[in-house]
Amino acid sequence: MTQPTSGGDVRLDRISKTYGSFTAVHPLDLHVPAGSFFALLGASGCGKTTTLRMIAGLEEPTTGTVRLAGEDITALPPYKRPVNTVFQSYALFPHLDIFENVAFGLRRRGVKSLKKQVEEMLELVQLGDFARRKPQQLSGGQQQRVAVARALINHPRVLLLDEPLGALDLKLRRQMQLELKRIQTEVGITFIHVTHDQEEAMTMADTVAVMNGGRVEQRGAPAELYENPGTTFVANFLGTSNLIEAEITDKSGGDLVLSAAGGKLAMPAERCSAPVRTGGKLLVGVRPEKITLAHAEDAGTVPEGRNRITGRIVDSSFIGVSTQYLITTPDCPEITVYEQNIERDARLVPGAEVVLHWNPAHTFGLDAAQDIDAGTELDEEAA
Amino acid sequence: MTVTATPEAPPDDAPPHKPPLIKPAVRKRLVPYWLLLPGILWLLVFFAAPLVYQASTSVQTGSLEEGFKVTWHFQTYWDALTEYYPHFLRSVLYAATATVLCLLLGYPLAYLIAFRAGRWRNLVMILVIAPFFTSFLIRTLAWKTILSDSGPVVGALNSLHVLDVTSYLGITEGQRVLATPLAVVCGLTYNFLPFMILPLYTSLERIDPRLHEAAGDLYARPFTTFRKVTFPLSMPGVVAGTLLTFIPAAGDYINAELLGSTDQKMIGNVIQSQFLRVLDYPTAAALSFILMAAILTMVTVYIRKSGTEDLV
């Protein structure tokens, strides 16, 4: 068997999956470019794992086709697909030692002299000394690396990762994120990574597709998704967003002028994903770290041209690098603000009257017809 | 907690604090032994005591009229062995054949229940256990009717000329099934099949289905997945099932008694008749001990060979 050194691109056309009357995945199109690190992000039950399993061949799609490097593989059983999976909870063979676990795929394909290959692969994941141990004698992180080695040694065109870091503790997870990213860059294989952890998806992936209720809500580079979410779900699920109901009062040049929270706000028109119509409703969003706080007494020092809202601090919590403030305003009950702890203003305590201000360019606009809280509760459940 | 420590002075008439009879740490150490006590007593009365009694019987000489005395007559063992070794061999052969048949019949069924039965799982399990609702003896007697010379089985096998083949192989005789090795082995297989299926099912059911998926994902065809993953992981069940079938089958005498003739007598039949009909207690006791030692040896070798210790 020839061993392709580069990854293949994956193209899903109108792929869907229904179980009885339940639709796990609505017809969806997705293109994963060759050699990219692609993340499917969503809360549990959003259809991301089902999508992954359809690519692996472990689940038969109800409709649609799966193409790998241009070739239709929809009808191929898993053992004939040049695709390997790192399973959630790893699914290592408990009766085989680490060496044999890693060698499993090569043996099945009749590869002879595999000793050197397996040893090299174990070195890559830094488990050279553990070859003769059984999986249950290894820690979670080590088992995870075995699972990656067992899949990677086959040089698949695509590596599928199903919540591979879910069982690890936070510190180890951070370490493995970097490790996986390093391996991906080294081997150049296409990685498709399923996760519910938005931070993990943003740290590792080149492209993230956010899934919700069996549909892809939005896809793009992490920074693009974060800065310019297209739906309230993405805005809330990816980090935290302050969403304020507003009305469009004017459109001047490239800017929209809105009335909200008892004042006037401005934002660039191209950052609005909703149809723009004077008098129309809009949800105005701004990320907590983009907002600056000034005490009401210093209101005069706020530069001209910035969006400003007045409010009162309800709560503050110190978390080291920054302080989180919860602020209530007449029209908007809760606005979250993250302030860097550079020069702390001692007057900013609960009860203080403040002015919130931010650069209008950091504002994004969403269709007001959506559920303003979509994606908020899910995040907590998944975390 | 903001409870301030204000030690209350004990009332004057309170009895002085007595140290406990047994220290708590010691009491804790004794708990396992207390828990073991009922089982150990039971074993002593119903297992160890009869065993010692049988051991002493096996080295006694005498007769029923004059009474038996311990004379340390170990010759009984040698005599019993030389006289009845064909029965030992036959027992091992029949039990081993029945065990292999049970494995061949039971494994696919256990596999089906564990992985494919879905919501029918419990129903199929009940069907496997259902025969236990009837007595062992009744079921074996029923087989006597089923396999009788004028019964439908013999008729069918005869018209299909199967009996010609089996007669040629020496496992049936003429136009009958009853009173042949085939009948005894079939009876043993039938009666001990559930003891094979249950442990097999238990160990198969414990296998994470994701391991099958992982094997498929790593280029193993379904049969290779079975050979390299499922079967090795079910080894504890295979070992337990074969032991639970082989051991009682080797000592069984009901099947040979009801379905066989004098030519199919197993060692269990000999022991039974020595005890209850011939009333030669020393020989019967010696045979029992030889059987026990033989089974113990075979089982030990088998467990060592199958290497189940390092299976999960």
Walk me through the domains of chain A, giving residue ranges and CATH numbers: 10-227 (3.40.50.300), 240-382 (2.40.50.100)
| CB < 8 Å to A154, chain B | 218-219
> Given a cut of 70, is residue B6 above it in pLDDT?
no
Across chain A, mean pLDDT equals 89
Distance of alpha carbon A183 from alpha carbon A161, whole angstroms: 13
What stretches of B112-180 show up as alpha helix (H) in DSSP? 121-129, 136-146, 152-159, 162-169
For residue B149, tell me if it sits in a domain.
yes
Cβ–Cβ contact B309 with A under 8 A:
no
Distance spanning both ends of chain A, measured CA to CA:
42
Distance of alpha carbon A212 from alpha carbon A194, whole angstroms: 13
Cβ–Cβ contact B28 with A under 8 A:
no
Cβ–Cβ contact A89 with B under 8 A:
yes
For residue B205, tell me if it sits in a domain.
yes
Query: Which pLDDT belongs to residue A110?
Result: 92
pLDDT band at A329 (very low <50, low <70, confident <90, very high): confident
**Residues A152, A84: contact at Cβ < 8 Å?**
yes
Q: Residue A1's closest CA among A160, A121, A108?
A: A108
Dihedral-angle region of residue A279 (phi above 0 means left; psi in -120 to 50 means alpha; beta otherwise): left
**Residues A70, B286: contact at Cβ < 8 Å?**
no
For the four alpha carbons of A294, A300, A304 and A310, in that order, the dihedral sign comes to: positive
Q: Residue B251's closest CA among B202, B302, B308, B299?
A: B299
Cβ–Cβ contact A84 with B under 8 A:
yes
Residues 217 through 276 of chain B touching chain A, CB cutoff 8 Å? 217-221, 224, 228-229, 232-233
Distance of alpha carbon A37 from alpha carbon B303, whole angstroms: 49
Query: Which pLDDT belongs to residue B3?
Result: 46
How far does the CA of residue A196 sit from the closest CA of chain B (Å)?
A: 20
How much of chain B exceeds pLDDT 90, in percent? 67
Which residues, 6 or more positions from B145, have their beta carbon under 8 angstroms from its beta carbon? B151
pLDDT band at B15 (very low <50, low <70, confident <90, very high): low
Which residues, 6 or more positions from B208, have their beta carbon under 8 angstroms from its beta carbon? A91
For residue A136, what is the nearest residue in chain B, using CA coordinates? B312
Distance of alpha carbon B261 from alpha carbon B184, whole angstroms: 9
Length of chain A: 383
The lowest-confidence range among A287-296, B21-30, B88-97, B133-142 is B21-30
Query: Which pLDDT belongs to residue A1?
Result: 38
For residue B153, tell me if it sits in a domain.
yes
Mean pLDDT of A231-244: 91
Query: Which pLDDT belongs to residue B16?
Result: 60
Q: Return the CATH number at B298.
A: 1.10.3720.10
Dihedral-angle region of residue A278 (phi above 0 means left; psi in -120 to 50 means alpha; beta otherwise): beta
| CB < 8 Å to B312, chain A | 94-95, 136
For residue B38, tell me if it sits in a domain.
no
**CB distance A83–B217 less than 8 Å?**
yes
Cβ–Cβ contact B204 with A under 8 A:
no
pLDDT in tens, B233-277: 999 999 999 999 999 999 999 999 999 998 999 999 999 999 999
Q: Residue A360's closest CA among A291, A262, A281, A263?
A: A291
Mean pLDDT of B273-286: 92
Distance of alpha carbon A46 from alpha carbon A214, whole angstroms: 5
Assign A268 to helix, strand or coil: strand
Which residues, 6 or more positions from A15, have their beta carbon under 8 angstroms from its beta carbon? A25, A27, A28, A29, A30, A51, A54, A61, A63, A64, A65, A66
| CB < 8 Å to B232, chain A | 95
Query: Which pLDDT belongs to residue B44?
Result: 94
Considering A6-10, A125-129, A322-326, the range whose residues carry the highest mean pLDDT is: A322-326
Mean pLDDT of B47-71: 89
pLDDT band at A2 (very low <50, low <70, confident <90, very high): very low
| CB < 8 Å to B215, chain A | 93, 104
pLDDT band at B13 (very low <50, low <70, confident <90, very high): low
* From B210, B228, B312, residue closest to A136, measured CB to CB: B312
For residue B175, tell me if it sits in a domain.
yes
A79, A86, A109, A148: best to mutate for the B interface, most B CBs within 10 A:
A79
How far does the CA of residue B81 sit from the closest CA of chain A (Å)?
A: 42
**CB distance A85–B217 less than 8 Å?**
yes
For residue B295, tell me if it sits in a domain.
yes
Residue A265's H or E segment, with its range, is strand A263-268
**CB distance B216–A104 less than 8 Å?**
no
Q: Between A270 and B244, where is the model more confident?
A: B244
For residue B221, the enclosing domain spans 90-310
How far does the CA of residue A107 sit from the closest CA of chain B (Å)?
A: 9
A104, A132, A138, A148: best to mutate for the B interface, most B CBs within 10 A:
A104
| CB < 8 Å to A136, chain B | 312
HEC sequence for A271-323:
HECCCCCCCCEEEEEECHHHCEEEEHHHHHHCCCCCEEEEEEEEEEEECCCEE
The lowest-confidence range among A51-65, A256-270, A340-354, B284-298 is A256-270
Distance of alpha carbon B237 from alpha carbon B229, whole angstroms: 14
pLDDT in tens, B188-239: 999 999 999 999 999 999 999 999 999 999 999 999 999 999 999 999 999 9
| CB < 8 Å to B229, chain A | 93, 95
Across chain B, mean pLDDT equals 89
> Given a cut of 80, is residue B22 above it in pLDDT?
no
Tokens 């009879």 sit on residue = B21
Distance of alpha carbon A292 from alpha carbon A323, whole angstroms: 12
| CB < 8 Å to B211, chain A | 91, 93-94
In chain B, the number of structural domains is 1
Cβ–Cβ contact A20 with B under 8 A:
no
pLDDT band at A162 (very low <50, low <70, confident <90, very high): very high
For residue B208, what is the nearest residue in chain A, using CA coordinates? A91
**Residues A296, A310: contact at Cβ < 8 Å?**
yes
* From A94, A104, A134, residue closest to B218, measured CB to CB: A104
Between the CA atoms of A183, A186, A190 and A191, what dihedral angle is there, to the nearest 10 degrees?
10
For residue B249, tell me if it sits in a domain.
yes
Q: Which DSSP state fits B113?
A: I
The residues with which A266 forms a beta bridge, in sequence order, are A257
For residue B172, tell me if it sits in a domain.
yes
For residue B209, what is the nearest residue in chain A, using CA coordinates? A91
* From A91, A95, A109, residue closest to B312, measured CB to CB: A95
Query: Which pLDDT belongs to residue B1?
Result: 42
* From B219, B229, B310, residue closest to A93, measured CB to CB: B229
Q: How far apart, in Å, are the Cα atoms of A4 and each of A155, A358, B231, B244, B246?
A: 7, 50, 33, 51, 53
pLDDT in tens, A88-98: 889 999 999 99
pLDDT band at A257 (very low <50, low <70, confident <90, very high): confident
Length of chain B: 312
